[in-house]
């Protein structure tokens, strides 16, 4: 068995026999726990969550509208508060299923997990390493320490605790520290744009950005988003997203990320973070970690009292799921958002090994950790485990005002259950991030907060609509247009993110039908073009469903908190018909439905048929038909496959040319129609945002030479992706257990390992020209060595503060203070009940953790980021059109060197993108770092390089088209 898998997914007696050092060094080893004190997890029973359903259902303009939809106050009680009848029935159904399974002794999967597992199989890692050790943050921490030293205890608590859902203009609002001049922070959802905002750009989704394979566009996407956020008064964007990674091709939120490969995700994350933060806005990388499916991600959202546990071995965690987070930390990301799910049976936002050991010690993270909205499942335990900010501030229930922190954190400091130095570090990290991004500059951040409301479109409203308390009406929406020229960036990303999957001489089409740029057979009279499919048209408008939570009209975004309000949406049919407008040589007929009247012979005269279909998904708090967040399968929705097949069969009696355009959140199975002889071209346009039609027309008519590449593999069936790629649609226990037993073998790695031929491989994408690769040259810059250089000493010493417990009187509500009901304050009504006694801290809390050799600075040991070898290749455009080429470098580890270590066939370790004129040649050089060349050694607990044998570097246009190679 691979040593990286031993003793990691199930409890074992071996844990009890390890020495103390090994016990605390082994990452993600499972263990037997019989005491609550052994756990990273505070047990919470029968919790409730309510979906983030507030949204703006119609398109925005610069004028207020009167049709604002607001959720009614709850009229039910208990776990059914605010739920629909469908949800209640579903919830009861799940309960019945669980009870039946357990009462019957368990059947199928319940046989394995018929009891809740021991809490916290992830080992403890305490105390939280303090921030302020990195040179790049030294000045920010110096300024922050001076401010924090002057804060009162309530001010410190205010900075770390959200004020509650709908308790401020943004989706996340912290309290200010007024006496020292620190403002309330406004946090707003991304990553497609500014959620709930008017007059802001609806950018292409992350998966479309990933499909560009263009580092410059990744940066510009983040930068344009940040410009708009800053002008709207936002301090932190809740993006980019690199979790989920894409383990499951039907995963509901894969579209928010950049693709199913850690290297691609990491580069895109780094570039977009730089783009965001160079504008002074905080980026929030999310979701840490392994939130790979929507089903059972969160307590009670699916009727179960606990979220799913993603059980991952040490090596897989490092090489796959944490890898892109390393890039994010190296880029200086201000914030990390921990996810809803458990990791090895410890909730992510209370997992000390994850937050303290991996993120802070190994990766050297200097910013702050915030919870996903209601992902905090404990009070004291989460503070000790490394959580710095709780969002939205409510506790275990939505909109109840009963925070796990807020006044409870104040109380915990006074009674000694949370050390004051932990709170000081929490606050300092947040304030340091504020200084690090230059948000103390009032010329850029006026400290007035957002100039829009997430909760109403009206010009006036109340400050905290989540509170039933009477409030005066104040201006809340200024309708500031922040879009600038960002439509051009959105259009370019959408065009470059469009992947040409098939083209047998059809594309590019001609605007003037008299030209011969297409191979469509002409008859006398105008060229007859027919456009089919609901996905080509406007439907009921892009904002018809709250949070884009339905599939209607052309698909330009998935649904959920990552969605935005479209200021407009250029549909494909609009852009295409406009291109042929006034041309008497072309006649266009449109059927914007997936059920056209074929019986009327509408296909017989069509010489060119363009058919549109799609597949949608989104966040788990919403469902559309059978798509409950995660897709139920990989087929096109609304009978899209049948539509394509029927159009192809009947177009001009089966002799007409067919162009298929797919908008999708992820891979779709195309086997029913992809090999039909008259399906001449297929374009996969991903999720293109507001400029959808314009970008598509750019590619179809050849104004843009397609250069998009697949950010995941398209298989011939869901089974092709392996068992680990299948969503768990039914729970296998009271605490659903999902073992990531496939390890490193996700997406193309699985296909390679098992010799499975995909329909279209990872990295694939055609062009209107052709390219040739030649002359691979490998140059060593540094010799191989087994382990990185010794961990360097910290550049700076973290700030130190007065350790004295503050005066109890300063935490009482000020005299005459008017409280808003359900608003989260840091104050207490009384301190008479405060009892300070020795607190039973978790196991290992007083143990001095040995520092990881993999750490030492932002992103980890600096030696990991040093270039050890370069690979250069000549690339020539051999066609007669200029076009952008995407050289991709894949690495194969030395073979047959160590039987104990299993390596994938190949892994992506480099890519670039540049324009080549016809017949032009350029040399591309890839710099491979020590990290790129290493694997995670579970024994040494460090990144190890193979020093014997030869590495192989393969370069080409996709993961299965690698014509040149070299060795080292």
Nearest to 116 by CA among 801, 776, 731: 731
Rounded distance between C-alpha atoms, residue 71 and residue 399, angstroms: 12
Nearest to 432 by CA among 128, 806, 146: 146
Can you read off the two tokens belonging to residue 954?
Answer: 């393969």
What phi, psi does 699 have (nearest 5°)?
Answer: -75, -45
Rounded distance between C-alpha atoms, residue 243 and residue 317, angstroms: 12
Reported as half-sphere exposure (CB side, CA atoms, 13 A), residue 233 has a value of 26
Rounded distance between C-alpha atoms, residue 614 and residue 681, angstroms: 16
Q: Which of 38, 40, 50, 372 is catalytic?
A: 372
End-to-end CA distance of the chain: 28
DSSP of 418-486, one letter per residue? S-HHHHHHHHHHHHHHHHHTTTT-TTT--SS--SS-SS--SSEE-S-TT--S----EE--------TTH
Reported as half-sphere exposure (CB side, CA atoms, 13 A), residue 193 has a value of 30
What phi, psi does 100 have (nearest 5°)?
Answer: -60, -45
Give 692-739 as a 3 state SS string. HHHHHHHHHCCCCCCCCCCCCCECCCHHHHCHHHCCCCCCCCCCCEEE
C-beta neighbour count of 827 within 10 angstroms: 18
Nearest to 537 by CA among 693, 652, 394, 413: 693
Can you read off the two tokens belonging to residue 477?
Answer: 């929406």
Rounded distance between C-alpha atoms, residue 3 and residue 313, angstroms: 10
Can you read off the two tokens belonging to residue 56?
Answer: 């703006």
For the purposes of burial, counting CB atoms within 10 Å of the CB of 705, is it exposed (0-12), middle (13-18) or buried (19 or more)? buried
Can you read off the two tokens belonging to residue 664?
Answer: 């999708």
Active site residue 400: no
Nearest to 557 by CA among 697, 694, 665, 633: 665
Rounded distance between C-alpha atoms, residue 601 and residue 232, angstroms: 53
Rounded distance between C-alpha atoms, residue 47 and residue 394, angstroms: 12
Rounded distance between C-alpha atoms, residue 392 and residue 142, angstroms: 28
Rounded distance between C-alpha atoms, residue 429 and residue 424, angstroms: 9
CB of 713 closer than 8 Å to CB of 762? yes
β-strands 867-877, 172-173 pairing = unpaired
Can you read off the two tokens belonging to residue 450?
Answer: 């957002």
C-beta neighbour count of 11 within 10 angstroms: 16
Rounded distance between C-alpha atoms, residue 271 and residue 821, angstroms: 42
C-beta neighbour count of 862 within 10 angstroms: 17
CB of 188 closer than 8 Å to CB of 195? yes
Rounded distance between C-alpha atoms, residue 73 and residue 399, angstroms: 10
In sequence order, which residues have a C-beta less than 8 Å from that of residue 660 and are 6 or more positions away? 611, 612, 613, 644, 673, 679, 681, 682, 683
- What stretch of H or E contains 491? helix 486-496
Rounded distance between C-alpha atoms, residue 557 and residue 256, angstroms: 9
Residues annotated as catalytic (active site), given as ranges: 372
């Amino acid at each position: 068995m691979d040593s990286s898998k031993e003793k990691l997914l199930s409890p074992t007696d071996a844990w009890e026999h390890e020495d103390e050092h090994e016990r605390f060094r082994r990452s993600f080893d499972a263990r037997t726990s019989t005491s609550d004190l052994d756990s990273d997890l505070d047990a919470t029973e029968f919790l409730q969550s309510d979906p983030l359903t507030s949204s703006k259902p119609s398109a925005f303009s610069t004028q207020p509208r009167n049709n604002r939809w607001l959720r009614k106050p709850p009229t039910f009680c208990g776990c059914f508060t605010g739920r629909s009848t469908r949800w209640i029935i579903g919830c009861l159904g799940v309960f019945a299923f669980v009870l039946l399974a357990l009462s019957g002794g368990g059947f199928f999967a319940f046989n394995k997990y018929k009891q809740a597992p021991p809490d916290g199989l992830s080992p403890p890692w305490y105390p939280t390493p303090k921030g302020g050790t990195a040179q790049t943050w030294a000045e920010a921490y110096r300024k922050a320490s001076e401010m924090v030293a002057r804060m009162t205890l309530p001010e410190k608590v205010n900075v770390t605790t959200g004020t509650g859902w709908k308790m401020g203009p943004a989706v996340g609002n912290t309290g200010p520290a007024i006496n020292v001049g620190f403002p309330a922070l406004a946090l707003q959802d991304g990553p497609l744009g500014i959620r709930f905002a008017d007059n802001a750009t609806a950018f292409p989704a992350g998966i479309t950005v990933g499909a560009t394979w263009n580092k410059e566009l990744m940066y510009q996407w983040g930068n344009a988003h940040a410009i708009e956020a800053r002008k709207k008064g936002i301090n932190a964007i809740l993006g980019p997203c690199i979790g989920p990674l894409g383990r499951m091709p039907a995963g509901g939120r894969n579209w928010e990320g950049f693709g199913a490969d850690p290297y691609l995700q990491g580069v895109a994350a780094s570039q977009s973070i730089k783009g965001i933060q160079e504008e002074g806005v905080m980026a929030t990388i999310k979701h840490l970690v392994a939130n790979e499916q929507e089903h059972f991600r969160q307590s009670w959202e699916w009727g179960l009292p606990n979220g799913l546990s993603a059980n991952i071995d040490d090596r897989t965690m490092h090489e796959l799921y944490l890898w892109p987070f390393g890039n994010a930390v190296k880029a200086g990301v201000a914030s990390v958002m921990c996810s809803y799910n458990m990791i090895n049976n410890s909730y992510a936002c209370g997992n000390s090994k994850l937050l303290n050991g991996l993120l802070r010690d190994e990766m050297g993270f200097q910013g702050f950790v915030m919870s996903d909205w209601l992902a905090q499942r404990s009070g004291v335990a989460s503070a000790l485990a490394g959580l710095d900010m709780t969002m939205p501030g409510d506790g275990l229930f939505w909109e109840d005002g009963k925070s796990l922190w807020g006044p409870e954190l104040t109380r915990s400091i006074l009674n000694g259950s949370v050390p004051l130095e932990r709170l000081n570090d929490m606050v300092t990290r947040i304030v340091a991030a504020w200084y690090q991004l230059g948000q103390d500059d009032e010329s850029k951040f006026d400290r007035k907060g957002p100039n829009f409301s997430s909760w109403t479109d009206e010009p006036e409203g109340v400050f905290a609509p989540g509170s039933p308390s009477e409030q005066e009406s104040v201006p809340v929406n200024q309708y500031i247009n922040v879009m600038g020229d960002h439509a051009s960036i959105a259009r370019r990303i959408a065009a470059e993110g469009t992947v040409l999957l098939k083209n047998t001489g059809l594309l590019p089409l001609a605007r003037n039908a008299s030209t011969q740029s297409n191979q469509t057979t002409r008859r006398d009279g105008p060229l007859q073009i027919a456009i089919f499919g609901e996905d080509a048209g406007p439907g009921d408008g892009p904002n018809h469903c709250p949070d884009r939570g339905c599939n209607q009209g052309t698909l330009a975004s998935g649904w959920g908190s990552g969605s935005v309000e479209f200021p407009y949406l250029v549909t494909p049919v609009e852009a295409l018909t406009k291109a042929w407008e006034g041309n008497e040589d072309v006649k266009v007929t449109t059927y914007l439905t997936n059920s056209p009247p074929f019986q009327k012979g509408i296909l017989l005269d069509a010489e060119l048929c363009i058919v549109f279909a799609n597949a949608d998904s989104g966040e788990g708090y919403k469902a559309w038909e059978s798509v409950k967040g995660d897709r139920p399968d990989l087929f096109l929705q609304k009978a899209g496959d049948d539509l394509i097949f029927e159009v192809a069969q009947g177009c001009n009696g089966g002799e007409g040319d067919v162009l298929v355009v797919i908008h999708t959140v992820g891979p779709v199975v195309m086997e029913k129609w992809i090999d039909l002889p008259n399906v001449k071209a297929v374009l996969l346009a991903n999720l293109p945002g507001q400029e959808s039609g314009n970008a598509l027309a750019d590619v179809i008519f050849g104004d843009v030479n397609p250069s998009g590449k697949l950010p995941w593999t398209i298989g011939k069936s869901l089974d092709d992706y392996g068992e680990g790629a299948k969503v768990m649609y039914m729970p296998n226990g009271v605490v659903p257990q999902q073992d990531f037993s496939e390890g490193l073998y996700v997406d193309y790695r699985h296909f390679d390992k098992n010799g499975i031929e995909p329909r279209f491989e990872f990295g694939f994408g055609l062009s209107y020209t052709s390219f040739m690769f030649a002359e691979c040259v490998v140059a060593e810059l540094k010799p191989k060595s087994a382990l990185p250089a010794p961990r360097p000493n910290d550049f700076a010493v973290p700030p130190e503060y007065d350790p004295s417990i503050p005066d109890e009187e300063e935490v009482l509500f000020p005299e005459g203070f008017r409280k808003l009901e359900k608003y989260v304050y840091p104050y207490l009504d009384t301190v008479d009940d405060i009892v300070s006694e020795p607190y039973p801290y978790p196991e290992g809390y007083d143990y001095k953790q040995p520092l990881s050799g993999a750490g030492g600075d932002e992103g980890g040991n600096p030696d990991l980021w040093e270039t050890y070898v370069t690979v250069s290749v000549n690339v020539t455009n051999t066609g007669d059109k200029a076009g952008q080429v995407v050289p991709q470098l894949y690495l194969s580890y030395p073979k047959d060197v160590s039987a104990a270590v299993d390596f994938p066939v190949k892994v992506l370790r480099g890519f670039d993108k540049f324009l080549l004129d016809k017949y032009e040649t350029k040399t591309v050089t890839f710099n491979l770092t020590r990290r790129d060349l290493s694997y995670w050694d579970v024994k040494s607990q460090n990144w190890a390089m193979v020093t014997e044998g030869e590495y192989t570097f393969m370069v080409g246009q996709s993961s299965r088209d690698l014509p040149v190679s070299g060795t080292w």
